[in-house]
Amino acid sequence: MKEIKKIGVLTSGGDAPGMNAAVRAVVRTGIYNGLEVYGIRRGYQGMIEGEIVLLDTDSVSGIIHLGGTILQTARCKEFFSFEGRKKAYEQLMLSGIDAVIIIGGDGSFTGAGIMSKEFDIPFIGIPGTIDNDLYGTDYTIGFDTALNTVVQAVDKIHDTATSHGRIFFVEVMGKEAGFVALQSGIACGAEGILIPEEKGDLNKIRKYLTDRARRKKSSIIMVAEGEDEGGAISIANKMKEEFPDFDIRTTILGHVQRGGSPSAFDRIIASRMGKDAVEALMDNQKSIMIGVVNGEIVHVPLSKTVKLHKMVNMELLEMVDILS
């Protein structure tokens, strides 16, 4: 690998609280080590269109506490094609960029891995997604903040559920992964949790509602958006038909989960990952993701992060049955 003097940093895919903390860490670590750091706006779309700006220490001052991403992000279909990636590479060369640090999820890392092979340019990935579904890291940037946002919202829903003796089906984000639903459900004391990783769990909800008829208490059922039964609204409608005497309601938390000031935990892991990503580049590493396992920084090949599946802890789901 040639000597790295200029690096680019971008945020790609869905935004996540803590991305700005990671950008800040990349910029300041790069400058500390004598590198020029360029921000690439609007993800791969901005890379293709040449939206590349030089960043200095002041550029990232006062952003560690902000949600979203100051570099903005975008979905980019053009990058799926070789022609689109070639345009992106040409723009990097025009700015003299030797390597790129990308903050995003599995789709973003897939594109980075392909482009790195095609044009022999180093990419380092930093996991930034509230879904926490990337293999090779215990936590992704934004997951902890999203959990706390969900818990705060569901605590409020629980108040009205208790006041009226209602059953609330609450849908949370997570794509095809149940990490947000499972852990927030435990933290909220949910009586049931439906996640894509556990098939046939609707029968457990039916059994719970049947038993509940004798108790007449309020209930919270957490539903991951990728659940096979069709989401909170579809499931709630089925249960209304089967249990017409119950007051069943639904709430979809939606994009409120992706916003807000990042938690202290997200700020810290984002800072650690951003610093290590720069140091990994300077150590001539490429095509890896920076992760955290058992509190320690680890390096995972990008190919593994997109090919291997991260499993939820099924013991936690068993615990829900016991505690409910």
Q: Are residues 228 and 81 in the same domain?
A: no
The tokens for 64 are: 């560690």
Residue 161 lies in a domain: yes
Look up the CATH number of the domain holding residue 105. Answer: 3.40.50.450
Q: pLDDT by residue (tens digit) across 164-199?
A: 888 999 999 987 889 999 999 999 999 889 998 887
Which distant-in-sequence residues (6+ apart) come within 8 Å of 133 by Cβ? 105, 106, 140, 174, 175, 176, 177, 179, 310
Per-residue pLDDT, 213 = 56
DSSP 237: H
Q: Which of 34-48, 50-64, 138-152, 242-256 has the lowest mean pLDDT?
A: 242-256
Per-residue pLDDT, 191 = 87
Residue 25 lies in a domain: yes
pLDDT surpassing 70 at residue 1: no
Q: Are residues 105 and 151 in the same domain?
A: no
Question: How many whole angstroms separate alpha carbon 35 and alpha carbon 208?
Answer: 59
Q: Are residues 277 and 128 in the same domain?
A: yes
Question: How many whole angstroms separate alpha carbon 24 and alpha carbon 15?
Answer: 15
Among residues 252, 278, 229, which one has the least CA distance to residue 157?
252
Alpha helices in the chain (DSSP H): 19-32, 43-49, 82-94, 106-119, 143-164, 179-188, 202-212, 231-242, 264-282, 302-307, 314-323
Task: Name the CA radius of gyration of the chain, rounded.
Answer: 22
Mean pLDDT in residue range 210-234: 79
Per-residue pLDDT, 181 = 94
Q: Are residues 120 and 148 in the same domain?
A: no
Q: Are residues 19 and 43 in the same domain?
A: yes
Per-residue pLDDT, 84 = 94
CB 97 within 8 A of CB 8: yes
Query: pLDDT-derived band of residue 77, with 50, 70 and 90 as boundaries?
Result: confident
Q: Are residues 109 and 129 in the same domain?
A: yes
Q: pLDDT by residue (tens digit) across 272-318?
A: 999 999 999 999 999 999 999 999 999 999 999 988 889 888 888 88
Question: How many whole angstroms separate alpha carbon 321 and alpha carbon 152?
Answer: 22
Per-residue pLDDT, 127 = 97
Q: Which of 20-29, 38-47, 59-68, 233-242 has the lowest mean pLDDT?
A: 233-242
Among 258, 284, 319, residue at a domain's last position: 258
Per-residue pLDDT, 226 = 76
Q: pLDDT by residue (tens digit) across 83-121?
A: 999 999 999 999 999 999 999 998 899 999 999 999 999
Per-residue pLDDT, 67 = 95
Q: How many domains does the chain have?
A: 2
- The residues assigned a catalytic role are 131
Q: Are residues 81 and 93 in the same domain?
A: yes
Q: pLDDT by residue (tens digit) across 147-160?
A: 999 999 999 999 88
Beta bridge mates, 128: 141
Q: Are residues 30 and 82 in the same domain?
A: yes
**Length of the chain in residues, anyone?**
324
Residue 64 lies in a domain: yes
pLDDT surpassing 90 at residue 143: yes
Residue 1 lies in a domain: no
pLDDT surpassing 90 at residue 216: no
Residue 320 lies in a domain: no
Per-residue pLDDT, 173 = 92
Q: Are residues 50 and 172 in the same domain?
A: no
Per-residue pLDDT, 215 = 63
Residue 201 lies in a domain: yes
Look up the CATH number of the domain holding residue 220. Answer: 3.40.50.460
First-last CA distance in the chain: 56
Question: How many whole angstroms separate alpha carbon 76 and alpha carbon 72?
Answer: 13
User: For 129, what's the count of Cα atoms within 13 Å in the CB-facing half-sphere?
Assistant: 28
Residue 164 lies in a domain: yes
Per-residue pLDDT, 54 = 97
Decide: helix, strand or coil at residue 102. strand
Beta bridge mates, 38: 8, 54
Q: Are residues 38 and 11 in the same domain?
A: yes
The tokens for 55 are: 């960043």
What's the domain range around 245?
A: 144-258
Q: pLDDT by residue (tens digit) across 224-283?
A: 987 777 789 999 999 999 888 888 999 999 899 999 999 999 999 999 999 999 999 999
Q: Are residues 253 and 267 in the same domain?
A: no
The type of residue at 73 is T
Per-residue pLDDT, 201 = 73
Per-residue pLDDT, 202 = 82
Q: pLDDT by residue (tens digit) across 193-204?
A: 999 888 767 888
Residue 322 lies in a domain: no
Mean pLDDT, the chain, whole residue set: 92
Q: Are residues 18 and 128 in the same domain?
A: yes
